[in-house]
Amino acid sequence: MKIIVLVKQVPDSTEIRVDKVTGTLIRAGVPSIINPDDLAGVEEALKIKEATGAHVTVISMGPPQASGMLKELYGRGVDECILITDRAFAGADTCATSSTLAAAIEKVGYDLIIGGRQAIDGDTAQVGPQTAERLDIPQVTYVDKIMEVNDKSVTVRKSLEDTEEIIEAKLPCLLTTLSGMNTPRYMNCNDIVDSFSKEVKIMTFADLDIPAEKVGLAGSPTKVHHTFTKDVTAETETYDMPAADAAKLIAKTLKEKQIITK
Amino acid sequence: MAKFEGYKDIYVFVEQRNGEIANVGYELISEARKLVASIPQMGFQVVGVLLGHNVTDKANDVIAHGADKVIVADHELLEGYSTQFYADTLTQIIETYKPDSFLTGATVLGRDLAPRVAARLNAGLTADATKIEIDQEKVADGEALLLVTRPTFGGNLFGTIVCPDTRPQMATIRPNVFSMDPVDTTRTGEVVAFTPDFKDTDAKVVVKEVIAKVVEGIDITKCDILVGAGRGAEDCLDMVEAVAEELGGAMCASRAVVDDGFASKDIQVGQTGKTVRPSLYIACGISGACQHVAGMEKSDMIIAINRDPQAEIFSIANMGFIGDVKEILPLLKEEIIAAKKA
Ligand SMILES: Cc1cc2nc3c(=O)[nH]c(=O)nc-3n(C[C@H](O)[C@H](O)[C@H](O)COP(=O)(O)OP(=O)(O)OC[C@H]3O[C@@H](n4cnc5c(N)ncnc54)[C@H](O)[C@@H]3O)c2cc1C
Ligand SMILES: Nc1ncnc2c1ncn2[C@@H]1O[C@H](COP(=O)(O)O)[C@@H](O)[C@H]1O
C-alpha cells in the first residue's frame, strides 16, 4: 500500500505577534513548525506502516527552506520526502495549491492520502477536500481515529459538533486528521543516522503535468483585498474603585439594563 | 453590461440533519437580507438551498426566516449527509441557477462540502469568515463584489478576501457571528423543486454508526448570560459559578483554564473554542488575548474585572474594573441578591 501524507511548514502561531503600527505580522525570529494536524497524519501513516508494511511518502509544497523540516521526517521513519517548489507556485490560494498537490500526487501514485484538517497559518481546512476533488476520490474530513485499514477500504471515526460517526470509505481516498488524535513519536536514533544519507526529492513546475494558469497567483481565484489588526470599536470605560463600590456599580448597571430582574 | 452576465442573487446553503435545520442557515439568510438591501439597484433576491429527503415541507420555514425563494432537492440519496451526493447536487444547482454568491455555514459539514464544490467549479472560496460586506464602489458597474473578512494566524491578523474574476463568490461563515431576524410566518416565497442527476449512485463512503458525544453540562453558545473565568479566577471558580447562577447564566472559561485542567473543553470560548454572543459577558481574570476575544467580542455588553490596568480585555470591555476578582465577586453576588429584592 502507498500512503501519501500532505505536510505544510507553518510559523508557530503561539509565537506570532503583530506590529501594531504597520498592522503586519512580525515573522522575524518566529520558529517554523510542522503543522500540528499534519504531524498527527504522519504518525497515523507510520502506525499503518508498522502494521502493514505500507510505503509512506510525505509531500509538501513550499519554499526551498522547507526541505529541512522534511529531512527531519526521515528521522521519524517515513520512506520518501518530496518538496514541490518553484517560483511559479508562489501566491497560491487553496484552489491552486490543491491543483498543484494533486498533479504531484498523480506522479507519485497512491492508495491512501492523509492531510491535516487545517493549517494554523491560514486555518482554511480547504486544501484536503479540494485535493480529493481534483483527484476525483472520496474524502473523510475531521478524522480523529483510524480504526482499520485493508487493501480495499479504511474505517475511521469522524468528529462532528455533537456526534461521532464511524465511516467506511473505499480506497483510494483522502482523510484529514486532527491533532490530538495521537502523540507523534520522536525521531529514533537509527532513522536519524539513516536520514543523513537520504535526500529530499525536489519537484518543480517542469516535473508536473499542469498548465501554468492553474498554479500560483494565476490559478488563485481568491485575492487578498487588505489585511488589518483588530480595531477597537467598543465604548469602553475603565474604573479604579474599591471592590465594594465596583460590585455596587455592576449590580446597579445590570438592574438598569434589566438583566437583573426579580 | 454586467460583468458577470446571468449571475445573480445571494444563495445560502440551509444545513439540516434529520430534518432539523441548523441556526447558521437562518443567520446567513438574515445577513444576506441586509446585503441585498444595501444594493437595491441590483434587484437581488435571497435564495435558500435545502438538500435532504422528505424535507420539502421545511421550505416554508426557510421563507419565514427571510428567503425569497427556496430550491429544494429532495432525494433518497440525500437522506443523510454524503460529500459525494451533496457535492453533485449542489454543483448542478449552481450550474443551473448561476448564483452571484453562495454562502455556507462553517460547520463540520459546510467545511467538508463547500471546498469540494468550489474546486469542481474552480470558484473562489473564503473560509471561516466572520464579516461580509459589498463593495459599494463596484455596484455602479453592475457588480456585487463581496468583501469577506476572516481571522488568520490564530486570530492575530484579519484578512479581507475578494473573488473578482469568478462566480459564484463562495464563502463559509462561522456560526453565531450574525444574529437571526425574527421569524415572520406571513412571508411568502417561491419553492422550486430540483431533481439531481447522479452519474454514479454507488456510495464510496458509508456512515456505519452515529454516536452522540457526551456533553457535560450546558451549551454555552445558547446562554444569554455568561461569566467567563480566566487564569486569574482559577482560585475562585466557585464564586464565578455562584455569580453566573445568581444571574441565571452559566460559567465559561478561557483556554488557559481549560489547559490547566480546571474546566472542560466544552465551555472554552475563543478561536479554538466556541463563539458566543450573549447579552452579557463578565470576564473575570481574563487577559483578553485576541484568540479569546475572537469568541466573545460580539457580546452585547462586556464587563471585565482584572487587577492589571494594562490588560487587553479593558480595550474591548464596555465597563472595566481594575481589581481583584476574589474580592469583587463575593460582593457582587450579594449585590445581585439585594438588587433582585429591591
Ligand atoms: C492558535 C491559538 C488558539 C487559541 N485559542 C484560544 C481560545 O479558543 N480561547 C482562549 O481563551 N484562548 C486561546 N488561546 C490562548 C490565548 O492566547 C491566551 O493564552 C489565553 O486566552 C489566556 O487566558 P487567560 O486570559 O485566562 O490567562 P492569562 O493570560 O494568564 O491572564 C490572566 C489574567 O488574569 C489577571 N488576574 C490574575 N489574578 C487576578 C485576580 N486575582 N483578580 C483579577 N485579575 C487577575 C491577570 O492580570 C491576567 O490579565 C489560543 C492561543 C493560540 C496560539
Ligand atoms: N503547501 C502545502 N503543502 C502540502 N500540504 C499542504 C499545503 N497546504 C495545505 N496542505 C495540506 O492541507 C491541509 C489543510 O490546509 P489549509 O486548507 O491551508 O488549512 C494541511 O493541514 C496540509 O495537510
The residues near B20 (Cβ < 8 Å, ≥ 6 apart) are none
CA of residue B231 to ligand 1 center, whole Å: 6
**Residue A37 domain boundaries:** 2-219
The answer to whether the CB atoms of A25 and B84 lie below 8 A apart is no
B3 part of a folded domain:
no
CATH number at residue A39: 3.40.50.620
The answer to whether the CB atoms of A124 and B128 lie below 8 A apart is yes
Helix, strand, or coil (residue B6): coil
Radius of gyration of chain A (CA): 23
Residues B176 and B297 in one domain: no
- Pull the grid cell for residue B97: 441557477
CATH number at residue B176: 3.40.50.620
A228 part of a folded domain:
no
Q: Give B248→chain A minimum CA distance, Å.
A: 9
Amino acid occupying residue A256: E
Closest atom of ligand 1 to B270 CA is 8
Contact by Cβ (8 Å): B332, B324: no
Radius of gyration of chain B (CA): 22
A251 part of a folded domain:
no
Residue nearest atom 12 of ligand 2, based on CA coordinates: A127
Q: How far apart are CA B322 and CA A50, in angstroms?
A: 57
Helix, strand, or coil (residue B214): coil
Report the pLDDT value the prediction gives residue A20, as an integer from 0 to 100.
Answer: 63
Cα–Cα distances in angstroms (integers) from residue B7 to residues B63, B100, B102, in the given order: 22, 5, 11
Q: How far apart are CA A133 and CA A98, in angstroms?
A: 9
B209 part of a folded domain:
no
Contact by Cβ (8 Å): A45, B173: no
Residues B19 and B120 in one domain: yes
pLDDT in tens, B234-252: 999 999 999 999 999 999 9
Residues B149 and B249 in one domain: no
Residues B117 and B252 in one domain: no
- Residue B325 CB–ligand 1 contact under 6 Å: yes
CA of residue B257 to ligand 1 center, whole Å: 8
Report the pLDDT value the prediction gives residue A162, as an integer from 0 to 100.
Answer: 87
Helix, strand, or coil (residue A13): coil
Residue nearest atom 18 of ligand 2, based on CA coordinates: A119
A206 part of a folded domain:
yes
CA of residue B286 to ligand 1 center, whole Å: 5
- Residue B34 CB–ligand 1 contact under 6 Å: no
Q: Give B187→chain A minimum CA distance, Å.
A: 32
Record the pTM. Answer: 0.83
> Which of A35, A114, A140 is closest to B112 using CA atoms?
A140
Q: Which residue has the cell 518543480?
A: A204
Residues B327 and B186 in one domain: no
Contact by Cβ (8 Å): A63, A21: no
Residues B173 and B28 in one domain: yes
Residue A13 above 90 pLDDT?
no
Helix locations, chain A, DSSP H: 36-52, 67-76, 94-108, 127-135, 189-197, 243-256
Q: How far apart are CA A81 and CA A198, in angstroms?
A: 9
Burial of B241 (0-12, 13-18, 19+ CB in 10 A): middle
**Residue B52 domain boundaries:** 10-193
pLDDT in tens, A75-105: 999 999 999 999 999 999 999 999 999 999 9
> Which of B169, B157, B151 is closest to B32 using CA atoms?
B169
Q: Which residue has the cell 507519485?
A: A108
Report the pLDDT value the prediction gives residue B1, as an integer from 0 to 100.
Answer: 43
Count of CB contacts below 8 A, A vs B? 255
What residues 146-185 of chain B have any CB closer than 8 A to a CB of chain A?
147, 150-154, 156-166
Tally the domains of chain B.
Answer: 2
Helix, strand, or coil (residue B155): helix
What residues 71-100 of chain B have any CB closer than 8 A to a CB of chain A?
83-84, 87
- The one-digit pLDDT tens for each residue of chain B (342 residues) are 456 889 999 999 999 999 999 999 999 999 999 999 999 999 999 999 999 999 999 999 999 999 999 999 999 999 999 999 999 999 999 999 999 999 999 999 999 999 999 999 999 999 999 999 999 999 998 999 999 999 887 677 889 999 999 999 999 999 988 989 999 999 999 999 999 999 999 999 999 999 998 766 788 988 989 999 999 999 999 999 999 999 999 999 999 999 999 999 889 999 888 999 898 999 999 999 999 998 999 888 999 999 999 999 999 999 999 999 999 999 999 999 999 888
A243 part of a folded domain:
no
CATH number at residue B329: 3.40.50.1220
| Mean of the per-residue pLDDT values of chain A | 91
Q: How far apart are CA A38 and CA A49, in angstroms?
A: 16
Mutate to test the pocket of ligand 2, among A5, A95, A127, A130 (most ligand atoms within 8 A of CB): A127
B207 part of a folded domain:
no
Strands, E assignment, B97-242: 99-105, 125-129, 131-134, 146-152, 157-162, 169-173, 190-193, 205-212, 225-229
Among the bound ligands, the one closest to the CA of A89: 2
Q: What are phi and psi of B97, to 5 degrees?
A: -100, -10
B166 to chain A: nearest residue by CA? A221
The answer to whether the CB atoms of A222 and B126 lie below 8 A apart is yes
Residue A232 above 60 pLDDT?
no
Residue A231 above 70 pLDDT?
no
Residue nearest atom 1 of ligand 1, based on CA coordinates: B154
B202 part of a folded domain:
no
- B29-43 burial by CB neighbour count: b if 16+ within 10 A, else e? bbbbbebbeebeebe
Among the bound ligands, the one closest to the CA of B151: 1
Report the pLDDT value the prediction gives residue A228, as an integer from 0 to 100.
Answer: 82
- Pull the grid cell for residue A234: 467598543
Residue to substitute from A99, A168, A260, interface B, most B β-carbons within 10 A = A260
Nearest 5°: the CA angle A24, A25, A29 is: 140
β-strands B8-14, B157-162 pairing: unpaired
Burial of A39 (0-12, 13-18, 19+ CB in 10 A): buried
The residues near A97 (Cβ < 8 Å, ≥ 6 apart) are A61, A127, A130
Q: Terminus-to-terminus CA distance in chain B, angstroms? A: 66
Give me the residue from A23, A170, A230 closest to B290, CB to CB.
A230
What residues 99-138 of chain B have any CB closer than 8 A to a CB of chain A?
107-109, 111-112, 114-116, 118-120, 122-128
Chain A environment of B213 (Cβ under 8 Å)? 162-164
A237 part of a folded domain:
no
Q: How far apart are CA B73 and CA A250, in angstroms?
A: 52
B198 part of a folded domain:
no
Report the pLDDT value the prediction gives residue B206, as an integer from 0 to 100.
Answer: 97
Report the pLDDT value the prediction gives residue A233, as an integer from 0 to 100.
Answer: 55
Burial of A183 (0-12, 13-18, 19+ CB in 10 A): exposed
CA of residue B289 to ligand 1 center, whole Å: 6
Report the pLDDT value the prediction gives residue A23, as an integer from 0 to 100.
Answer: 62
Among the bound ligands, the one closest to the CA of A119: 2
B246 part of a folded domain:
yes
> Which of B300, B294, B301, B16 is closest to B130 using CA atoms?
B294
The answer to whether the CB atoms of A16 and B322 lie below 8 A apart is no
